[in-house]
Amino acid sequence: MSRKPEAGGRSLHSSRLPALGSRPRYSRLVVPRKGGDDVLVGLLSLYDPLGFLAEERDLIAFFRDPSRARAAGAALASRGIRHRLVTDFLERDPFEAYRAASRPFPVGRRLWIEPGDLSSAQAPVGRIALRLPASLAFGTGEHESTRLALLALDHDPPEGLRVLDAGTGSGILALAAAALGAQSVIAFDTDAQAVVIARENVRRHAFAGCVHLFAGETAAVAGRFPLVVANLLPDEFLGIRAALQSRVDARGRLVLSGIPSEREAAVVRRLRSPRWRLAGRLADNGWTCLTLERV
């Protein structure tokens, strides 16, 4: 479930790359970027890549196993997606430049995001720092879909509320909810590795004691919540739509991000119901975040 969009001119994930000095051999799939990074990342992630780099013109997926790289390339070819397969030795960690170039940035009125491997920077007065090192889980706050979900939380803080974070990935939305005053946060993902990473991220934040994580499905969640958040691609969300909507309290809210603008109308049609009203909409650079309220 953690296969959510995350891109935009920088590295997306890394954590399983071998140590420097061993000159490891990598296979790289280089795919021209045409605005569909969410689709590419979701597809390539099925073949167990070591990580991704998003450059200005290309999305690059790294593989340790060349057979997986070839299988991923075949999947791209079957969809008519141009790509290049390169196998070579690298002298340096390909994610090193990203970690060196990462800079903190504000989101909304109260949040301060520190991506990469930063740990010592101080947040400006009045802002709460969320520290998210580069990892294989999605959600460092740099992609529009993640920022929009953070903005939705910042605009209407969940103070004193119980929150459910579906498809938590890196745990960034769960952390943001805790930072903004949530009473408790239940966060889950079907990807066990994502939950391991999210737990590490939660441990870095003293205010996050109210965050509880597990690996599993929506069916394992008991009760209803005043706020449910999900930063998922439309097909993933629509596949569990009924289960998630059933977890929202009367007069509760569902924040849904990760919607490419060209699919917004179709998603809204699927969600249209006398029991739900559209309470908010945020958009940025081809991505949309919707807030729905149960009536």
Cα distances (Å, whole numbers) of residue 227 to 180, 201, 243, 244, 246 = 13, 22, 14, 11, 12
pLDDT tens-digit series, residues 198-241: 898 899 899 999 999 999 999 999 999 999 999 988 888 999 99
| CB-CB neighbours of 116 under 10 Å | 21
The three-class DSSP label of residue 271 is helix
Candidate from 112-116, 158-162, 284-288 with smallest mean pLDDT: 112-116
pLDDT tens-digit series, residues 236-293: 899 999 999 999 999 999 999 989 889 999 999 999 899 999 999 999 988 999 999 9
The pTM is what? 0.74
Phi, psi of 282 (to 5 degrees): -125, 145
The proportion of the chain whose per-residue pLDDT surpasses 90, expressed as a percent, equals: 48
C-alpha to C-alpha distance for 113 and 131, rounded to whole angstroms: 6
Domains and CATH numbers, the chain: 18-94 (3.30.70.980), 141-294 (3.40.50.150)
Q: Which residues contact 291 (CB under 8 A, 6 or more apart)?
A: 152, 156, 253, 254, 255, 256, 278, 279, 280, 281
